[in-house]
Amino acid sequence: MSRNDEIADLLEEFADLLEAQDVNYKPRAYRDAAENVRGYHRPIEELAEEGQEAVEEIDKVGDAISSKIVEYLTTGSIEELEELRDEMPVEMGALTSVEGVGPKTVGALYEALGITTLDELEAAAEAGEIQSVKGFGAKTEQNILDAIPFARQTQERELLGEARPLADSVLAYFADVEPANRAEVAGSIRRWRETIGDVDVLVASDDGESVVEAFTDWPEADSVIEAGTSKASVRAGGVRVDLRVVVPEEFGSALQYFTGSKEHNVHLRNVAIDRGLKINEYGIFDVSEVENPDDGQRVGERLGGRTEEEIYGALDFPVFPPEMREDTGEIEAAMDGTLPDPIEEGALRGDLHTHTDWSDGNNTIAEMVAAAAERGYEYHVVSDHATGPGMVGGVGLDDDRLREQMAEVEAVAADADIPVLHGVETNIDKAGGLSTDDDLLAELDVVVASPHAALDQDRETATERIVTAIEHPSVDVLGHPTGRLLNRRPGLPLDYERIAEAAAANDTALEINASPYRLDLSGEATKFAVQAGALIAINTDAHSPGELDHARYGIHTARRGWATEADVVNTRDIDGLRDFLH
């Protein structure tokens, strides 16, 4: 975590605590400052070194806030924040993760009932105490109760997009550590699950103690949770990272075992048993012949374990892509020879959903096109927000502005290294209608239609709505189909089979929005869609050049959904893409 992020988090906490105490206007100032500090192009500690005035260069950071930033960077804490925390010792993050509970509610419930944690909130709601608090009713109490399980589940898990960079960093670190002969991540991070409980790291070495020592010295480790002779755990940027060191002969079997999923492993073990084999984290063994007469246990000849190939190969299986190891049919498919070859990183030839400073993006059209070309893309689609439901503060473009933009895109395209297509991200209203004029939609090269509002519909209404949008003759891509935000809101409950059938019938691609905050469609939903014959588009929804690199989260989510290269429309070249576009 950069210091800018760290300070921004503190300022947001400040805002939450002030809001909880019912202070007016001030929270807004802290939130604005937090956002600008987070997005500032220079490290905040550098500015602070130059003096408080340099910190005030940041928009919306005035005297009061800059002095607190400097105080934090020089003393390690902010006195006023400590006082606020003492006055209201609540677990703000956990409590506000409950949908419908904001800092003000937290403050009111703390004052009235002394609630500080999620458990206390649940107990109070179950006991009917909340409805007796002024300003609350039975309905609010029930809503809180209903939302707690989702909140609890999300509290414990990190986003893939936060954990993956840490995993990359720990692997890069071990690449230079002498006694570490090989390092790999295992567990859910290797399977690219959308959220991660902890990051599991496996290292092959005959010198466990040195590897553990190097691990606890890893510069990104904030604290050491435990450290033994071949195992250790640290906390890094709020994420728990577990290390295991194994001897090189057992690296493959350990990697297979600790990659999981548990369900995949159980199924695999049962297949092995049927064939007289035993697998565990130490290797694969032939137990068909030998029996230990003392305890009746079978002890057999070791067939391998240095590599995953030795484990899977002994069972006549290919090495399953980690993303597919969920026991959702991959073992049966491998037996039938129908296991698909999933799409690989690098297969995309362009991004069909990106933003510029014409709407809420940070960069110009030309900058985004250049960034796409730099990444080796063969074309680029500009698809800024249209005005409509869910767009606030003048972010979206109305039809006139979209026509103006058309001329600008043409001008940029004339000088660009790759073809530039003009698209739009139009909004799907609550009944499935689109917020851009039909004639204009028909003129645009690419139409992405996305839900941005009314995301609390029931399954039938939501499915009907989305199907209506899919059936619109100009819509090419259904953008982030459910509108979910990971750990924040569940999004529309959709009947994926119906959505996929409609998509296939209308040549509309279903997006895997690769933003690590969304991953929408999910891997599970993608699997439905692909099996129903729908095409997928993997897009980043980038609002800056750097976000184009989120494409890999989309690719691995597609792999979790068993999507092949042929299933993904933006692996096609420009001619293939044009053939697809309406």
Tell me which residue has tokens 């007016």. 24
For residues 278 and 355, which CB has a smaller minimum distance to ligand DGT in the complex?
278
Q: Where are the beta strands (DSSP E) in 281-339?
A: 283-286, 301-304
Closest to ligand DGT by CB, 106 or 186: 186
* Residue 262, binding choice from ligand DGT, Zn ion, Ca ion, none, Cβ under 5 to 8 Å by partner class: ligand DGT
Q: Which long-range contacts (C-beta less than 8 Å, at least 24 apart) are formed by 573-577?
A: 573/349, 573/378, 574/349, 574/350, 574/378, 574/379, 574/419, 577/349, 577/350, 577/379
Strands 420-427 and 379-385, how do they pair?
parallel
| Binding at 312: pick from ligand DGT, Zn ion, Ca ion, none (beta carbon under 5-8 Å per type) | none
> How far apart (Å, rounded) are the C-alpha atoms in residues 330 and 184?
23
Could you tell me which of 80, 75, 79 has the C-alpha nearest to residue 48? 75
The CA distance from 172 to 429, in Å, is: 46
**Binding of Zn ion by 463 (CB under 5 A):** no
Residue 259 interacts with Zn ion (CB under 5 A)?
no
Verify binding: residue 96, Zn ion, rule CB under 5 A: no
For residue 387, state whether it binds Zn ion (rule: CB under 5 A).
Answer: no
User: How many angstroms separate the first and last alpha carbons of the chain?
Assistant: 43
CB of 547 to Zn ion, least distance (A): 12
In the complex, least distance from residue 200 CB atom to ligand DGT, rounded to whole angstroms = 5
Residue 93 one-letter amino acid: G
167 vs 478 by CB, closer to ligand DGT: 167
DSSP 435-447: SS-HHHHHHSSEE
Least distance to Ca ion from the beta carbon of 222, Å? 18
Nearer to ligand DGT, 21 or 261 (CB): 261
Distance CA 523, CA 521 (A): 7
Which position has the token pair 């959702």? 328
Dihedral sign, Cα of residue 323, residue 328, residue 334, residue 338:
negative
In the bound state with Zn ion, the residue whose beta carbon lies nearer, of 195 and 513, is: 513
Name the residue nearer to Ca ion (CB basis): 198 or 429: 198
When the beta carbons of 450 and 570 are compared against Zn ion, the nearer one is 450
Closer by beta carbon to Ca ion, 194 or else 242: 242
Tokens for 316, please give them.
């006549």
Q: How far is the CB of 514 from ligand DGT (least distance, A)?
A: 20
Neighbouring C-beta atoms of residue 498, cutoff 10 Å? 17
Residue with smaller CB distance to ligand DGT, 233 or 383: 233
Q: Is 539 in the site for Zn ion (CB under 5 A)?
A: no
Query: Would you give the DSSP letter of residue 455?
Result: T
> Least separation, in Å, of the C-beta of 443 and Ca ion?
49
Is position 354 an interface residue for Zn ion (rule: CB under 5 A)? no
| Least spacing, CB of residue 188 vs Ca ion, in Å | 5
CB nearer to ligand DGT: pick between 26 and 269? 269
Residues that bind ligand DGT (CB under 6 A): 187-188, 193, 196-198, 200, 257-258, 260-262, 265-266
Cβ contacts of 273 within 8 Å, gap of 6 or more: none
The least CB distance from residue 200 to Ca ion, in Å, is: 4
CB 261 to ligand DGT: min, Å: 5
Instruction: Show the site string, 25-64: x = touches Zn ion by CB under 5 A, - = not.
Output: ----------------------------------------
Element (H, E) at 116: none
Phi/psi for 39 (5° steps) reads -90, 0
| Residue 266 beta carbon to ligand DGT: minimum distance, rounded to whole angstroms | 6
Footprint of Zn ion on 478-537 (CB under 5 A) = none
Instruction: Tell me the residue number closest to ligand DGT, measured at CB.
Output: 260
Report the alpha-carbon distance of residue 350 to residue 574 in Å, rounded: 9
- Region of residue 388 (left: phi > 0; alpha: psi -120 to 50; beta: else): left
From Zn ion, ligand DGT, Ca ion, none, interface partner of 261 (C-beta below 5 to 8 A by class): ligand DGT
Residue number with the smallest Cβ distance to Ca ion? 187
Assigned token pair, 517: 């905050």
User: Which partner from the list ligand DGT, Zn ion, Ca ion, none does 258 bind, CB cut-off 5 to 8 Å by kind?
Assistant: ligand DGT
Among Ca ion, ligand DGT, Zn ion, none, partner that 450 touches (CB below 5 to 8 angstroms by kind): Zn ion
Q: For the CB of residue 544, give the shortest distance to Ca ion in the complex, in Å.
A: 30
Give the shortest CB-192-to-Ca ion separation in angstroms. 12
**Nearest one of 554, 492, 503 to 529, comparing CA atoms:** 503
Is the CB of residue 359 less than 8 Å from the CB of residue 294? Answer: no
Three-state secondary structure string covering 214-280: HHHCCCCCCEEEEECCCEEEEEECCEEEEEEEECHHHHHHHHHHHHCCHHHHHHHHHHHHHCCEEEE
**Which positions lie near Ca ion, rule CB under 5 A?**
187-188, 197-198, 200, 242
Q: Which of Zn ion, Ca ion, ligand DGT, none interacts with 237 (beta carbon under 5 to 8 A by kind)?
A: none
User: CB nearest Zn ion: which residue?
Assistant: 450
Phi then psi for 355, rounded to 5 degrees? Answer: -120, 160
Q: Closer to Zn ion at the Cβ: 513 or 526?
A: 513
**CB 451, min distance to ligand DGT, A:** 28
Distances in Å between the alpha carbon of 229 and those of 209, 214, 253, 288? 5, 12, 20, 35
Site string for Zn ion, 418-457 (x = CB under 5 A): --------------------------------x-------
We find the least distance from the C-beta atom of residue 445 to Zn ion, in angstroms, to be 18
Find which of Ca ion, Zn ion, ligand DGT, none residue 265 binds, CB within 5 to 8 Å per kind: ligand DGT
For Ca ion, the closer CB: 14 or 258: 258
Residue closer to Ca ion (CB basis): 161 or 432: 161
Euclidean distance between CA atoms 210 and 411, whole angstroms: 59
Handedness of CA 142, 143, 144, 145 (dihedral sign): positive
Residue ranges that bind Zn ion, judged by CB under 5 A: 450
